[in-house]
Amino acid sequence: MKIIHTSDWHLGHSLYNYDRSEEQQAFLDQLHDIVACEQPDVLLVCGDIYHTTTPSSATQKMYTDGLLAIHKASPDTRIIITAGNHDSCAKLEIDRSLWQHFNVTVIGSIARNADRSTDWEQHILEITDHSGTAIGYIGAVPHVYPHNFPSQNGTLNREERQPAFFHELSARIEQRNKKRLPVILTAHLAVTGTDDTEEEMKVIGGMDTVTVNELGYGYDYLALGHIHYPHIVQKDYPTAAYCGSPLAVDFDEDYPHTITVVNIQQHGELPQLKTIEIRNPRPLTTFPQKASGLDEAIKALEQWPEEKKDYIRVNIKAEKGITPDIVERITRLLQGKQCRFCYVKIQKEESDRERKRNELSIEELKQKSPVEIAQMYYEEKEGETMEQELTQLMLQAWQETTRDQEEQENSSEPDKL
Ligand SMILES: [Mn+2]
């Protein structure tokens, strides 16, 4: 079974008020050509189709036209769209029944039967070839906040719900898969391997994560969305990987943006992965790459080729003589050129306090209370200790939110989706 794995399109995203539809269209065109050439059995889009829950009509039209064109380029390819945390799950599902006529399955949220039990049939997708013979299974799971997974009539606490869902999904696929066909699961969340690598720690930062073994079993490939940096979470069998976003969403996403072609010869065999880089007609460029003095940066910017269309973040060292009119000066300087100036990043020398904070490991940071972290942040920003009164207020706010959370957990309301 051959799959194309993509996620985090963020259609409708704009950068410093610049419209990015040209780039988003360029990506959809490239995806069209890749699908036309590869003719995969499945195209998986693992969440964050749109950047906001209220995409403009132009953005929605780009999505509809783009998806339809991809379908026409390879009508036998089953397209599976799952919602991410940026999408409105309800809106994504509005034209779900219409899309079914074009071999497109849209999954916005956990499907429920009339009695609120999970409608597993909607999440276990049997993939067939053009003659109708089954060739594999996809366990398709959209983004759901962990505590919003089914609580099974209140018998599962908040922490148990997500792993229980993936476990049962896996069990049901295993039961169904008598011919031992390839199995793929999807998810949109931050996942780490069983041992955290340095690379992983860098990309997940302070995100809430789960380890890969909480997300079911018995699959050959776990197709992940959410983290924009393409990377393999688990190399050995079964493989779990992020395909990454096709376009950078901000200047710090300074790495190749890709989609992944996955080939699974047989259930139980290591899948073969091939990544294809997406070309952005307007790259996000930090210039100069290494922070320089203001005069130096201005001189270099004057040489910027007129037809080069990059977004530019100007990168300078903090020094005396930087006045508030710097933005205006740069805007004037770049007038008439096709590049898009976004902002000036002023690199400060790292202070002792910052150095102290940066030396803390994630584990050490986890040991600190929210109020302690607020105090560290305040000290770093304001250069002085947080006042007693503000500390008290923070403490109070924190206690109130914790109490609210506990009350919510103890209430017997049905799961909100
Ligand atoms: Mn995303």
Instruction: Please say which residue of 262, 277, 292 terminates a domain.
Output: 277
The answer as to whether 415 is a domain residue is no
With respect to residue 416, please indicate whether it lies within any of the assigned structural domains: no
| Spacing, Cα 417 to ligand 1 middle (Å) | 20
Number of domains in the chain: 3
Nearest CA to 204 out of 174, 175, 224, 176 is that of: 224
182 and 320 both lie in a single domain = no
Q: Which of 347, 371, 392 is the last residue of a domain?
A: 347
- How far does the centroid of ligand 1 lie from the alpha carbon of residue 332, in Å? 34
Residues 32 and 126 in one domain: yes
Specify whether 14 is located in the same domain as 74: yes
d(CA 233, CA 195) in angstroms, rounded, equals 10
What local confidence, expressed as pLDDT, does residue 407 receive?
A: 72
Q: Are 210 and 323 in a shared domain?
A: no
List, for residues 87-103, the tens digit of each pLDDT value. Answer: 999 999 999 999 999 99
* Same domain membership, residue 290 and residue 182: no
Between 18-22, 140-144, 258-262, 371-375, the lowest mean confidence (pLDDT) is in 371-375
Residues with CB under 5 A from ligand 1 (ion): 8, 48
The token duo for 337 is 């050129």
Residue 325 — φ and ψ, nearest 5°? -80, 10
Query: Is residue 231 domain-shared with residue 318, that is, in the same domain?
Result: no
Sign of the C-alpha dihedral, residues 147, 152, 154, 157? negative
Residue 74 has pLDDT above 60, yes or no: yes
Calculate how far, in angstroms, residue 182's C-alpha sits from the geometric centre of ligand 1: 27
Q: 305 with 332, same domain? A: yes
Following DSSP, what letter does each residue of 295-352 receive, concatenated? Answer: HHHHHHHHTS-TT---EEEEEEE--TT--TTHHHHHHHHHTTSS-EEEEEEEEPPPPH
Between CA 261 and CA 266 the distance in angstroms is 16
Distance 49 CA to ligand 1 centre (A): 8
Which of the pair, 382 or 327, is modelled with greater confidence? 327
The predicted-structure confidence for 22-72, as pLDDT tens digits, reads as follows: 999 999 999 999 999 999 999 999 999 999 999 999 999 999 999 999 999
Which amino acid type is present at position 261? V
CATH code of residue 104: 3.60.21.10
Q: How far apart are CA 374 and CA 394, in angstroms?
A: 8
Question: What's the gap in Å between 291 CA and the centre of ligand 1?
Answer: 28
- The SS3 assignment for 406 reads helix
Task: Judge whether 317 lies within some domain.
Answer: yes
Give the distance (Å) from ligand 1 centre to CA of residue 226: 5
Tell me, in angstroms, the distance from the centre of ligand 1 to residue 10's CA. Answer: 7
pLDDT digits (tens, 9 = 90+) for 128-161: 998 999 999 999 999 999 999 999 888 999 999 9
Q: Distance, CA 355 to ligand 1 centroid (Å)?
A: 30
110 CA distance to ligand 1 middle (Å)? 19
361 plus 272 within the same structural domain: no
* Domain final residue, candidates 294, 316, 347: 347
The percent of residues in the chain predicted with pLDDT above 70, rounded, is: 92
Same-domain check for residues 392 and 272: no
Residue 342 inside a domain? The answer is yes
Write out the two tokens for 90.
């309800």
- Average confidence score pLDDT of the chain: 91
* pLDDT at residue number 410: 60
**How far is the CA of 56 from the CAs of 8, 11, 49, 413, in angstroms?**
17, 10, 13, 34
Q: Are 21 and 62 in contact (CB under 8 A)?
A: yes
| CA 275 / ligand 1 centre spacing (Å) | 18
> Is 416's pLDDT higher than 70?
no
**What does the pLDDT read at residue 368?**
82
Looking at the domain assignment, is residue 84 inside a domain? yes
| pTM score | 0.84
Rounded to 10°, the helix 370-382/388-410 angle is 150
Q: Is residue 128 part of a domain?
A: yes
Question: Rounded to the nearest whole angstrom, what is the distance from the C-alpha of residue 208 to the centroid of ligand 1?
Answer: 15
pLDDT value of residue 208: 79
Q: Ligand 1 centre from 339 Cα, in Å?
A: 25
Which amino acid appears at position 406 of this protein? E
Give 369's DSSP letter: -
Do 41 and 14 belong to one domain? yes
pLDDT at 321 over 80: no
Q: Do residues 27 and 149 both lie within one domain?
A: yes
Amino acid at 172: R
User: Could you tell me the distance, in angstroms and rounded to a whole number, from the CA of residue 244 to the centre of ligand 1?
Assistant: 9
Indicate if 34 and 74 belong to the same structural domain. Answer: yes
CA 207 to ligand 1 center in whole angstroms: 13
Residue 392 domain boundaries: 352-409
Mean pLDDT to the nearest integer, 235-261: 96
Statement: residue 412 has pLDDT above 50? no
